[in-house]
Every structure is written in structure tokens, then in C-alpha cells.
A = this chain, B = another copy of it.
Amino acid sequence: PITGGFSIKEWMSNVWSFAKEDSNRVIFSLKVGFAVLLVSLLILFRAPYEVFGTNIIWSILTVAIMFEYTVGATFNRGFNRALGSLLAGIFAVAVGEVALRTGHVAEPIIIGISIFFIGTITSFMKLWPSLVPYEYGFRVTLFTFCLIIVSGYRMGSPIRTAMDRLYSIAIGGIVAVLVNVLVFPIWAGEQLHKELVNSFNSVADSLEECVRKYLEDDGSDHTEFAKTVMDEFPDEPAYRKCRATMNSSAKFDSLANSAKWEPPHGRFKHFFYPWSEYVKVGAVLRYCAYEVMALHGVLHSEIQAPYNLRVAFQSEIQDASSHAAELVRSLGKDISNMKRRLQNSLLKRVHSSTERLQRAIDMHSYLLTSGHDLLDYSKPLPKISSTLSSAPSDLSAQLAEPAGSNRPEPPQEAQAPAETLPPAPAESYNETMKKQQRRLYSWPLREVDTFEEGTVGGAGNLLPRMSALESTTALSLATFTSLLIEFVARLDHLVEAVDELAKMAKFKNEDS
């Protein structure tokens, strides 16, 4: 209602889609309404009101403050509330008794000093790093103590007041917990489980998206970094999700923290379910995601490898990345289905396609370094894969054969993307090498003409801009592939972490 919307209809549809996106939101809202209604009935009806008196309004307060989204969080908050109230009650009764015995003059002084001390100590304690999660408990302790001791002083019999209030709070707490657990419970564990699976998918999506854009990009629509720095990549939905994964550690922690308070439920049947392993797997996944972010950084870097060079390694990069993404997705699926399965075959496939990529880079590394003056980048380079396999009579293929025959070469993937460029006449390997040789001698005499001292920057900007040496831009491709390879290397650890989780959470064994 604060949107200032001129279109009620649009606003309604927004709300509707928000509710539809996750029906738990509506369920949660209705549950809160139901819980406060239940506890209000205690006052609206005459009988309970006469038993408990005005203190019963504390149960409403308790419900409103205690009711959290997930069962675990509600338990946690309830624990804070209960322990806080209990401690406050004990302190208050003790101090109250002492104060009462010191006589009329000293009583308010002692009460005042005790309030000051409790306020100071609880506030200091809640800043202590390991006690930060219990911040709410300290608040409760403080205000409950003040309320009991002050109203005890004004209305007499602090124990009576304290007990009545504790009863009311207990009633509120019990109503909140019961409604939360019995009416369409929203389990933190279930949420954590889903979040983790989603993270796997978003990392896989983001990897594929990033590689696709890298190979598609023809350099013409290179958006400037400055415009994109504020995290706005509107055409990259998966990247945004992956970035959310990067920042999800706090969310995972809090969900796992809540989940620990939950009894066994649904698919998570045994006690001491290893929720903290979820956090660990999430951390390893995040380490993989760092590499995706770095890949993304290369994609949007100002120093770019020539398009043709990227296309030359297209099929290898694509194979490696799509196999890696498939493995990540499959791991996510196993967690989702709670199956334990060693992903040997997929992992081997990822390894072999990564090795193919490494081999391609290895054999054609002369393309990466200072090669820009010997190859005309305006013409498409021959695809590495086509020189490797599709033209067996070619010299390069002959030369490549011995290395390739060490192990069964994976069959040329049918899913390799349709050639967007006309098949260029493959430059003979011999010729390339001759040029390479020539380059070696003519090399340092080459003019580094793209470099200019001073300002090259944008309009009206006095800052000097860094200019990249044209000749090193090809190394950007090496960086991209290195990061991709490092991503794959980290997948080993991801597979291991997932297996550890599967073992500890007693997922169903299912060997593939």
C-alpha cells in the first residue's frame, strides 16, 4: 500500500504473484492470524479471563513477538524467551526480597542500582560474538526483570506478579509453538535442504550462462564495466542467482541454527540430523562459485581475448563446462532425492573433457602468447576440434594423433553447437609454425602501438586509464580456461563433501 501505485490492478497482480511464488508465505500469515486469535479468545471469553486476570495480555505479546517463520526459529526464540524470563524472574525475586528487607528508604535505591546493573551487563553480554544469536534472550531478561521488580515494588508481592506473568508468557509461548508445529509446519530443515539444492542449480546455470556468453560475445556490445559494476547484469539472471548464493552463508547458518532445534520430521527422520554438514557443503559449493565469479570477471573484463581465438577453443570449453555443470546439477539432484551415489562416471567424464581442454591449450599454446601479429584475427581460426578430428589427412591431425590415442577419445559430441561461422579453410599447421618461427625473430622489434601514455579515459574524465598491451590480450583466454579447470578441480572436493553429507545423513545407497 506504500507503493503510491497509480494502478491498483498491477499492484494486486504483484501481490498475487508474490503469494503464488511461495505458498508458505500465505500459510505463515494465516498462521499468525490464527495464533493471535486463539490467544485473544482467552481474554474475549469470560472464564479464562477471570482465572488469569489482566496479566493474560502478556500472552498476546508473547505470541506476536515469538512467532517466527520456521518451526526451528520459533523454538529457538521460545527458548530465548523462556530462559530470559526465568532468569529475570529469579533475579527479580532475589533482589526484590533483599530490597524489601532493607527498609523503605533503601528499597528504591537498591532496586534502581539493580536495574542499572542488569541493563549494563545484559547489554554488554549480547555484544559478545558467541552470544550474539541470543541477543533477543538478553533483551527479554532485561525488560522482564524491570517489569517484575518495578511492578512488584508498586503493587507488592513480586513473586505473585512474577508467577502470573510467567504463566501468561508460557501460555502465549505454548500457543505459538503448537500453532507453528501443528498447522502446516514450515520446517527450517526443509528450507535449508531446498536452498542447498537451489544453490547447486544456480551455480550450474551460472557457469553455463557465463561460458555461453563468453563464446557468443563478438566484442561489439561490450558493456562498460563502470555501468555494470553496481551488480546489474539484466541479461544474466543466473549470474544474479549465483551472486545470491555467494552471499547465502548467513542464511545457511541461520537456517541450520534453526533446524537444529527441530524434532525429526518428514524426510529427515533420525535424531541429530547433520544440519551442519549442509553448511559445510554450502561452503565448498561457494568455493566453486568463487571460480564462477572469477570466470564472470573475465567475461566482463576490459582485456579480452580476440573473438576468433575464443571460438577456436569453443568445443573444448563448451564440453568441459557443460559436463561440469551437469555434474553439479546431478549432485544437487542426489541431495534433493536424498540418494547416495558416487558420481564416478560423470566425474570421469568431466575430467576427460577437461583434459581434452588442457591438451588443446597445451598444443595450441602458441596461439595464446604474442600470437596476434602472426594470425589474422579478422578471419576465423580453424576450430581446434576440427583440426584434431574432422580432417584426418591434414598434417596437424596426424601430429595430434599420437597424443590423442593414449586413451579412448570421447566421441565428437553431437550436441556441439551449430557452426555459426562458415568453415574456414584450415590454415596448414606447417604454415603456422613457419610464421611462429618468423615471429620469434621479428618479435621484440614489433611496435607496441596501442599503448599510450597519459589519458585515454572516458568523456570529461581526467583520470588516466589503464591500457592493456594488445599482445597480452590472448592470455585472457588462458585465464578463462585456467579458471574453468580450477573450477573442475574443486568439483572433486564438492563431490567428496556431498558424499560425506550423504553418509552422515544416511541417504539411501544407490550405486550408479
**Shortest distance from the beta carbon of A458 to any chain B beta carbon, whole Å:** 9
Mark each residue of chain A from 1 to 25: 1 if its CB lies under 8 Å from any CB of chain B, else 0.
0100000000000000011000001
Chain B residues whose C-beta falls within 8 Å of the C-beta of A407 in the assembled complex:
451, 453
**Shortest distance from the beta carbon of A243 to any chain B beta carbon, whole Å:** 10
**Chain A interface residue count, Cβ-Cβ cutoff 8 angstroms:** 142
Mark each residue of chain A from 112 to 154: 1 if its CB lies under 8 Å from any CB of chain B, else 0.
1001111111111001100100000001001100110011011
Given contacts A60-B143, A444-B402, A362 and B469 within 8 Å (CB-CB): yes
CA gap between A41 and B108 in the complex, in Å: 9
* Cβ contact of A60, chosen from B18, B35, B147, B301, cutoff 8 A: B147
Chain B residues whose C-beta falls within 8 Å of the C-beta of A225 in the assembled complex:
489-490, 493
CA gap between A108 and B363 in the complex, in Å: 84
Chain B residues whose C-beta falls within 8 Å of the C-beta of A467 in the assembled complex:
351, 355
Asked whether A284 is an interface residue with its Cβ less than 8 Å from the other chain, the reply is: yes
B147-A61 in contact (CB<8A): yes
Binding site secondary structure of chain A: helix
B359-A154 in contact (CB<8A): no
Chain B residues whose C-beta falls within 8 Å of the C-beta of A230 in the assembled complex:
280, 283
Chain B residues whose C-beta falls within 8 Å of the C-beta of A444 in the assembled complex:
363, 399-400, 402-403
CA gap between A235 and B440 in the complex, in Å: 43
Given contacts A229-B287, A290-B297, A466-B488, A36 and B142 within 8 Å (CB-CB): yes
B359-A443 in contact (CB<8A): no
Q: Which of A255-263, A265-273, A330-338, A474-482 contacts B (4 or more CB under 8 A)?
A: A474-482
* Cβ contact of A33, chosen from B119, B495, B497, cutoff 8 A: B119
* Cβ contact of A370, chosen from B19, B362, B491, cutoff 8 A: B362
Q: Which of A430-446 touch B at CB < 8 Å?
A: 433, 436-437, 440-441, 443-446
CA gap between A165 and B502 in the complex, in Å: 55
B123-A32 in contact (CB<8A): yes
Chain B residues whose C-beta falls within 8 Å of the C-beta of A461 in the assembled complex:
496
Given contacts A33-B123, A57-B151, A453-B407, A475 and B482 within 8 Å (CB-CB): yes
**In the complex, what residue of chain B is closest to A361 when comparing beta carbons?**
B472
A111-B342 in contact (CB<8A): no
CA gap between A122 and B64 in the complex, in Å: 11
**In the complex, what residue of chain B is closest to A301 when comparing beta carbons?**
B486
Given contacts A247-B250, A403-B448, A469-B358, A347 and B150 within 8 Å (CB-CB): no
Chain B residues whose C-beta falls within 8 Å of the C-beta of A436 in the assembled complex:
440
Q: Give the one of A115, A406, A446 with max B CB within 10 A.
A: A115
Chain B residues whose C-beta falls within 8 Å of the C-beta of A122 in the assembled complex:
32
Given contacts A150-B57, A225-B493, A486-B303, A466 and B351 within 8 Å (CB-CB): yes
CA gap between A30 and B124 in the complex, in Å: 8
**Shortest distance from the beta carbon of A417 to any chain B beta carbon, whole Å:** 24
Given contacts A120-B32, A146-B36, A362 and B471 within 8 Å (CB-CB): yes
Given contacts A486-B298, A493-B225, A365 and B475 within 8 Å (CB-CB): yes
Q: Give the one of A301, A366, A433, A444 with max B CB within 10 A.
A: A444
Chain B residues whose C-beta falls within 8 Å of the C-beta of A40 in the assembled complex:
111-112, 115, 146, 150
What are 27 contact pairs spanning A and B, CB under 8 A? A28-B127, A29-B119, A29-B121, A29-B123, A29-B127, A40-B112, A44-B111, A54-B151, A60-B143, A60-B150, A64-B146, A229-B284, A230-B283, A290-B290, A290-B294, A290-B297, A291-B294, A303-B489, A342-B462, A342-B463, A344-B462, A350-B466, A351-B464, A362-B370, A399-B444, A461-B496, A472-B482
A residues apposed to B, CB below 8 Å: 2, 18-19, 25-26, 28-37, 40-41, 43-45, 49, 54, 57, 60-61, 64-65, 67, 108, 111-112, 115-124, 127-128, 131, 139, 142-143, 146-147, 150-151, 153-155, 225-226, 229-231, 247, 249-250, 280, 283-284, 287, 290-291, 293-294, 297-298, 301-303, 342, 344, 347-348, 350-351, 354-355, 358-359, 361-363, 365-366, 368-370, 399-400, 402-403, 406-407, 433, 436-437, 440-441, 443-446, 448, 451, 453, 457, 461-469, 471-472, 475-476, 478-479, 481-483, 485-486, 488-493, 495-497, 499
